[in-house]
Amino acid sequence: MSEEQIRIAKDLLAEGVGLIAAAGYINNEGGQAIADAASELMDQGCKTLVIDLDGTRIINSIGVSILLEILEKLMDEKGRLAFCNLTPTIAKTFEIMGLVQYATVYPDRLAARAALEGHAAV
Amino acid sequence: MEVVLHLPVVPNAELVAAKAVETLGRALGMHQTQVEAASVAMVEACLNAMEHGGGPVTVRLRGDNHSRPCLVIEVEDHGRGFDPERAPRNSSSRVLGSTSKRGWGLTLIRELMDEVQIQSAPGRTVVAMRKYVESAP
């Protein structure tokens, strides 16, 4: 499958808001790649992270469990986690596994930026 | 039409079966969301089989029109088996703070598929799942 290898890009969405764009299979390796990007952005002072999953169609529970660990780290730092561009199946999987009870889901990157700009500098 | 795959226990072998779910699901007229749900459930079944089955995993896929049109997926392994009634049912309320966040496979399979049957005995476990064909919204 072409999406076997995950592709990660990270950037600043707004002041204090890190963006991680992840496209591909979120398994243990994909989840870890996202976690590594999250750690780098947190080290740069980002307390709010947005994970954009546009281009991700398939995930597994091992990968999602790593996303839960990112959420825990952010919550320990009084930070926030958000997602955007989720497929209905990924959104349902996150709901089943408890991720969306503590993270915010936005329809797309623009909506995430509009909601989070100005709220991230803690 | 039936597709039978024998998957070796190697990283990402489950994606081969996911591709087959995608191809067969589309041929049956399933909406993309149903295909993706079936793919995630099948991936979880394969991962469980590879982790606990101790050897190659067999995946069978076919369309069925007995009562309602559906995609049927069977994942078979030859491990020591387990009691489905005693399998963990995870709850989202106990996720955060837990040292182990694993064990979600069966919960996801049951939530994402329309019917799930598990037959397990020492030497042979079969997880049989059905996803009904639904027309695109």
Strand order in the sheet with A104-106: A7-14, A17-23, A48-52, A80-84, A104-106
Distance from CA of A80 to the nearest CA of B (A): 14
| C-alpha–C-alpha distance, residues B94 and B113, integer Å | 23
Residue B137 CB coordination number (10 Å): 5
Which chain B residue's Cα is nearest to A66? B101
Question: Which of B48, B101, B107, B112 to probe by mutation at the A interface, max A CB count within 10 Å?
Answer: B101
**Which residues on adjacent β-strands are paired with residue A97?**
none
pLDDT of residue B137: 46
Q: What is the CA radius of gyration of chain B?
A: 15
**Could you read off the pLDDT of A49-98 as tens digits, one per residue?**
999 999 999 999 999 999 999 999 999 999 999 999 999 999 999 999 98
Closest CA to A81 of A6, A4, A19: A19
Show the tokens assigned to B117: 């049957």
CATH class of residue range A2-105 = alpha beta
Cβ separation B96–A68 shorter than 8 A = yes
Burial A8-39, CB ≥16 within 10 A → b, else e: eebeebbebbbbbbbbbbbbebbbbbbbebbe
Residue B29 pLDDT grade (very low, low, confident, very high; cuts 50, 70, 90): very high
Is there a contact between B40 and A60 (Cβ–Cβ < 8 Å)?
A: yes
Which chain B residue's Cα is nearest to A89? B37
Which residues in chain B are contacts of A57 at CB distance < 8 A? 36, 39
Question: Which of B100, B107, B108, B112 to probe by mutation at the A interface, max A CB count within 10 Å?
Answer: B108
Cβ separation B33–A65 shorter than 8 A = no
ipTM confidence: 0.89
Show the tokens assigned to B42: 């099948």
B16: Cα separation from own chain's centroid: 13
Closest CA to A84 of A111, A118, A44: A111
Which residues in chain A are contacts of B33 at CB distance < 8 A? 87-89
| C-alpha–C-alpha distance, residues B29 and B58, integer Å | 24
Closest CA to B112 of A24, A90, A101, A35: A90
pLDDT of residue A89: 97
What domains are there in chain B, each with its CATH number? 2-132 (3.30.565.10)
pLDDT of residue B134: 81
**Strands A80-84 vs A104-106: parallel, antiparallel or unpaired:** parallel
Q: What is the CA radius of gyration of chain A?
A: 13
Any A CB within 8 A of B137 CB = no
**Could you read off the pLDDT of B88-132 as tens digits, one per residue?**
667 666 666 666 667 889 999 999 999 999 999 999 999 999 999
Helix (H, G, I), strand (E, B) or coil at B117: strand
Q: pLDDT above 70 covers what percent of chain A?
A: 93
